Structure 1
C-alpha cells in the first residue's frame, strides 16, 4: 500500500499570492503543467521553494526545475513570455546538479527590465508530475502579500521509493518521430529550440503542420502558436524529446538564428482576419464545452414540452409545465453567468467577477426595461444608451471576458495592494458591465435592426431569395447576438396575422444544424463525439441549436460552413414553397405549428415536410461527404484547446 508523505513549499519571491487559475497563461492556469501557485513579485529576489537538486535550467534562464528527495518535480517559471527576452533579466546563481535548500537564493530577477519589455513578471511554482505523485495540494489563502521563504503550501504525495525504472528512450524517439513527421518533416523546419516545458519550432510553412494529430500524440500536452513559433508543449520530458528530435533532424537545426522565419507564410489583413476569427471560435467553443451536455439535455426537455403543448396534453399555465419549463429554460436564461465563468477561465480573467458581470447583464429590472420600447432608451450619467436583453446571449459576455484581463491588470497597477481585494473586483465588474451595456448593446441593436429590416424587405421582393439569405446567415447572427431583432417581427406576425413566413425559414436553420451533427454522429468513430453529437442533433431537432453550434459545428469549422450552405438551400426551398408557420415553434418537433388552423393537414404541411426533411437530407449528405472527417478530431484529454493563444 502506498504511504503518504507531506512536502512543504514556500513562496520563491516577495509579493501577492495568486491561485494558478489567475495566471495569464492557459497552459498554467488550466493546470496542464500540474498543480501549484503563483506570486506577483514586488522585488527580484528568487529563492528555492523546496529542498532538492537542480535538474534543469532553461537556456533563456526564465525557468528552472528542482527534484526533491521524494521524487517531486517542482518548476519555477519566472514571468509570462519572458522567454523572448533571451535571459537578459535573469542572473541564475545555481547550476544544474546543485543541491539547494528551501529559502536559498537561486536567481536575481530584474523586474524593471521585464516591465520595460511589457512582459508580466508573475512567478509560477508548479508540480509538473502532479498526476503521477500528488494526492492533494493544500494552499493558504490567496490574494495576500507573502514574504519570500514563507511556507504557503503543503503537498500530500505518494512515497515512490520503490518506483520501477523504465527504459523510456524508445518512447521519446517514437514521439519525436511522430512530431517531426506531422510538423511537415525536417525539410519544413528552419530551427528548433526548447524552454523548460515546450519545443519551439520555427517552421518554413506552418500550414503543413497537423495540429490535431500532434495534439493527439501520447506525451504531448497541447499545441500553441506565438511569436512566430510553433510550440509543442511536452512538460518535464522536454529535454529528452528535444534531444531525440535533434538526433533525427540534425544538429544544423539546433539553436539556429531564430530570426529566420518563413517569408512565404500568410501575412496581411486577410491573414489577420482569419487568425482573429479562429481565435474567437476557439474561445467560444472552449467556453461552451463544459456545459454542452446540460444544454443538449435542456434542449431536448424543451422540445418534449413543446410537443406536449402542441398536442394539447399540457397547458402553458399548468404548474407541471411551469416547473418543467423552468428546469429546461434555466441553463439558457442564465447562459451569460455560466459563460462569464468558463470564458474567464479560458482567457485569464477573474471567473467570479465575470460571472457577476453575466448576472448584471440579465438583472431582472434591466431585462424588463429592455423589453419595452418606451423604457429601452435611457441614459447613464447623461450618456444615452439603449438597453438590450442579454438573456441567453453569448457574444457580449465573451467580449467582457476578453476585456477583463486588461481591465484587471490596469486596476492592479493603480490600486494599492492592501485594498485590491475589495476594490479591484467591484470596479472591474462596474467597468465591464458599462462597456457592454453602453457600448456593445447599442451597436448590436443598430446592426440587428438593420439586418432584420433588410431581410424583411428581401422577403417582400422574393421569398426564395430571402430564404436563401436567412437560411445561410441566421445561425451566424445567433452567434453574434444579431438575431434578436428578428424575433419580435416573428412574434408580431403571429400575434397580428396568425402566421409567420419568416419563422418557417428560421425553423429550417435548426434542422440544418441538427443534420450536420447527425452526419458527424454517423461518420465519427470517437465514442465521446458520437454521444454528444447525437444529443446535440436531438436538441436541434427540438429547436435548440446551441449544443450543435458550440459543441461541434463551430469547433470543426468546415462542418458549420457546409451546414450553413445546406441551410441556405433549405431556406430557399422554404421560401419558394411559401411554407407558413402558425405558432412560435419549429424544427422537427414543432410540426403541429405548420398545420393550417381550420384546414388541417394540407398543402402547407406537405410543404413543411418537403422543405424540412429535404434540408435534413441535404445537410446530412453534404456534411457526411464534405464537412467532416475523423482526421479533424482534437485531443481527447484537452477539454480546452488553447490553440492560437499567446502563452509563455
Structure 2
C-alpha cells in the first residue's frame, strides 16, 4: 500500500479564494483538469504555489506547470480565454526546467489589459494528476481574502512508486514499444505529454529517433518536430497509445500539467475552428496526409517499376525488343503489375491508416479492377450499364488512387453499422462480404459516374481551349493535369489522346501531358540536390528517374504532395512548360513521353526536325524551370520538421 504524503499549496496571488465550481470555464469548473481552487486577484504579482521543477511555460504565457518532488503536477492558469491575448498581459520570470521555491515570484500579470480585452482574470490552480495520486484536498474557508504565498490548501497524495511495466498484450502495447524503441529508447526520453492527436516527446537527442521507421508503423500517421518536441501523430487513439507508452517506461516520464494544458488548448482550437476556409484546408491536409501515408510503404517498388517500364519503352522504341516477345511480356508484367493492382495494395495500406479492415478493402480493390468490369468499361457500347435497375457508367480503376481511399475512409463506418445490426454469431461470415459489396457499389455506382462526368467536362473544356489558343491551353492543362491525376479526373483525356493518335497520327495534348511528368520529376530532382537528409535523397533520386521514365506516382506521393509547397511550385513550373509547349506547337506521335519517350517526338517520314527541336526546348526548358523554382522557393530541410498534422491541430508551447 502506498504511503500518504501531505503537500502544502500556497496562494499564487493576492485576492478572494473561491471554489473551482465557481470558475466561469467548464473545463476547470467541472474538474476536468483536476481538483484545486481559484482566486479572483486584486493585483497581478503571481508567485509559485509549491516548490518543484517548472515543467511547462505556455508560449502565450497564460499558464505554467510545476512538478513537485513527490510527483504532484500543479497547473496555474492565469485568466480565462487569455490564450487569445498572445502573451501581451504577462511578463514571465521563469523558464521550463527551472527549480523554484514556493512563494517565489514567477509572473507579472496586467489585470487592466485583461479586463480591457473583455476577459476574466481569475487565477486557477489545479492538480492535473488528481485522479492518479490525490486522496484528499483540504482547503481554507472560501470567499475570503488571502495573501500570495500563504498556505490555503493541503493535498494528501499517494507516494508514487517508480516502476516500469513489461510489455502487455493490449491493443496498443506493441505499437507503444515500437515507438519507444525508435525514439531512442527510454534512456533518450526526458518526458512525454500528449494533445488530442499527438504524442509529444521531449527527447535528449532528436537525432537518435528513426523518423522513417516510426512514420511507417501501423497506427502512426506522421512525425513532426516543433517547439522542442518530437511529435508522433496518432489521431483519435492518442490517449490509449500514450497510456501504453507510460505503462512501459514509467509514470516518472509523464507530465500531466503540460498534457492537460495541451489537451485543453487543442480541444478549444478544434471546437472553435468555425472558419469555412480553415475547415477546407484541414480537409485537404487530412486527405493528402492519408494519401501519402498509404503510399509510403510501396514508394520504393513503384519507383523501381517505373524505371523498369522506362527501360522497356526505350528498348521497344529502338526496336531492341518486340512487344510480342516473351521477354517483353514477362518484364512488362513485372513493371506494370504494381500499377495495375494499385487499388488492391492501397486498399490494404489505407485501411490500416484509417481503421478499416485491410483484408476487406484489399478485396474491394480487387472487385473494382475485376477483368470483366475493366473490359466492359473500355468499350463505349458496354460502359453504360445498370445494377438492379440503377443506371451507372463503368470506369476502369486500374492504377487509380482516389476511389479506394474514399472506400477505406467509409469502411470503418460501414463496418461499425453492420456490427450493430448483424448478430454476433453471423458477423464473421456476413459482415466482410456485405461491407465489400457496399463499398464496391459506392465506388462503381457513386464515384464512377461523378468522375466520368467531371473528367469529360474538363477534357472537353481543355480541348476547346487548345482550339482557341495552344499557348493558353498548355498553361492551363500543364498547371492542372497532375491534380487531375490525383482525383482520377485525367481519364477523360486519355480516349481523346488515343483517338487523336489513331485517326490523325499525332496528339498535341499528349505533348503537354508529357511536360507535366517532366516538371514533377524536376521537382524531386531539386529536392535530391538540396536536401541533406539521406533517406529523402534516396527516395527523391529514385522518384526523379522514374518520372523521367514516364511514371510520376513515386514523385507525387513519395515527396511532392507530402511537402505540399513542392507540388504547388512544380505545378507552376508545369504550367509555364505547358505554355511553352503550346506556343511551339510541339506534337507527339505515340503514347509515350517524358524524357525517355523522345522517339515519340520524331516526326514520321521526316525524322529529326523542328518538332523534335521543339520537344528538346520545351521539355528540357521545363526541367530547368522546375528544378530552379523548387530549389529556390519550393523546398528547404526545415520543412521536414513542419509536416502538418492531418487534423491540422497544433498547439504552441515552449
* TM-score, normalisation: structure 2: 0.65
Tell me how far apart the structure 2 counterparts of residues 319 and 464 of structure 1 sit (CA, whole Å). 43
Deviation at 1:228, TM superposition (A): 14
Is 2:137 aligned against 1:130? Answer: no
Tell me how far apart the structure 2 counterparts of residues 196 and 130 of structure 1 sit (CA, whole Å). 19
Partner residue, 1:31: none
Deviation at 1:126, TM superposition (A): 2.3
CA-atom RMSD in angstroms: 4.3
Is 2:241 aligned against 1:235? Answer: no
**Contact 1:348/1:405, CA 8 A, preserved across alignment:** yes
**Contact 1:197/1:238, CA 8 A, preserved across alignment:** no
Tell me how far apart the structure 2 counterparts of residues 363 and 453 of structure 1 sit (CA, whole Å). 29
Deviation at 1:212, TM superposition (A): 2.8
Deviation at 1:274, TM superposition (A): 0.1
Partner residue, 2:366: 359
Tell me how far apart the structure 2 counterparts of residues 503 and 255 of structure 1 sit (CA, whole Å). 51
Partner residue, 1:371: 378
Is 2:603 aligned against 1:596? Answer: yes
Partner residue, 2:117: none
1:511–1:128 distance in 2 versus 1, CA, 3 Å: closer
**Contact 1:196/1:235, CA 8 A, preserved across alignment:** no
**Contact 1:197/1:235, CA 8 A, preserved across alignment:** no
Tell me how far apart the structure 1 counterparts of residues 561 and 438 of structure 2 sit (CA, whole Å). 30
Deviation at 1:200, TM superposition (A): 12
**Contact 1:344/1:350, CA 8 A, preserved across alignment:** yes
Deviation at 1:320, TM superposition (A): 1.2
Which of residues 225, 234, 237 in structure 2 aligns to 1:213?
Answer: 225
1:235–1:609 distance in 2 versus 1, CA, 3 Å: same
Q: Which aligned pairs between 1:50-199 and structure 2 lie closer than 5 A?
A: 124=171, 126=173, 130-131=177-178, 172=190, 198=199
Q: C-alpha offsets along residues 370-429 of structure 1, whole Å, 9 cap, x if unaligned?
A: 000000111011000011100100000000000000000000111111111111100000
Partner residue, 2:350: 343
Partner residue, 1:468: 475
| Structure 1 SS opposite 2:245 | coil
Q: Which aligned pairs between 1:164-563 and structure 2 lie closer than 5 A?
A: 172=190, 198=199, 212-214=224-226, 220=230, 222-223=232-233, 235-236=245-246, 239-243=251-255, 261=268, 267-563=274-570
Deviation at 1:312, TM superposition (A): 1.3
Is 2:623 aligned against 1:616? Answer: yes
Instruction: Give 5+ residue unaligned stretches, structure 1.
Output: 1-55, 60-85, 100-122, 135-163, 177-191, 202-209
1:596–1:197 distance in 2 versus 1, CA, 3 Å: closer
Tell me how far apart the structure 2 counterparts of residues 256 and 540 of structure 1 sit (CA, whole Å). 43
1:281–1:215 distance in 2 versus 1, CA, 3 Å: farther
Deviation at 1:644, TM superposition (A): 2.2
| Structure 1 SS opposite 2:532 | coil
1:453–1:58 distance in 2 versus 1, CA, 3 Å: farther
**Contact 2:311/2:549, CA 8 A, preserved across alignment:** yes
Partner residue, 1:606: 613
**Contact 2:198/2:234, CA 8 A, preserved across alignment:** no
Deviation at 1:255, TM superposition (A): 9.4
Deviation at 1:316, TM superposition (A): 1.1
1:643–1:195 distance in 2 versus 1, CA, 3 Å: closer
Deviation at 1:245, TM superposition (A): 7.5
Q: Which aligned pairs between 1:575-586 and structure 2 lie closer than 5 A?
A: 575-586=582-593
Q: C-alpha offsets along residues 95-125 of structure 1, whole Å, 9 cap, x if unaligned?
A: 88799xxxxxxxxxxxxxxxxxxxxxxx846
**Contact 1:216/1:634, CA 8 A, preserved across alignment:** no
1:256–1:611 distance in 2 versus 1, CA, 3 Å: closer
Tell me how far apart the structure 2 counterparts of residues 443 and 532 of structure 1 sit (CA, whole Å). 34
Tell me how far apart the structure 2 counterparts of residues 478 and 587 of structure 1 sit (CA, whole Å). 16
**Contact 1:198/1:234, CA 8 A, preserved across alignment:** no
| Structure 1 SS opposite 2:489 | coil
Q: C-alpha offsets along residues 298-335 of structure 1, whole Å, 9 cap, x if unaligned?
A: 00010111111111111111111111111100000000
* TM-score, normalisation: structure 1: 0.66
1:341–1:227 distance in 2 versus 1, CA, 3 Å: closer
**Contact 2:479/2:571, CA 8 A, preserved across alignment:** yes
1:596–1:125 distance in 2 versus 1, CA, 3 Å: closer
Q: C-alpha offsets along residues 157-188 of structure 1, whole Å, 9 cap, x if unaligned?
A: xxxxxxx997x8xx52xx68xxxxxxxxxxxx
Aligned residue pairs, count: 476
1:599–1:414 distance in 2 versus 1, CA, 3 Å: same
**Contact 2:73/2:257, CA 8 A, preserved across alignment:** no
Which of residues 548, 572, 577 in structure 2 aligns to 1:570?
Answer: 577
**Contact 1:226/1:644, CA 8 A, preserved across alignment:** no
1:418–1:97 distance in 2 versus 1, CA, 3 Å: farther
Tell me how far apart the structure 1 counterparts of residues 199 and 180 of structure 2 sit (CA, whole Å). 21
Tell me how far apart the structure 2 counterparts of residues 373 and 527 of structure 1 sit (CA, whole Å). 49
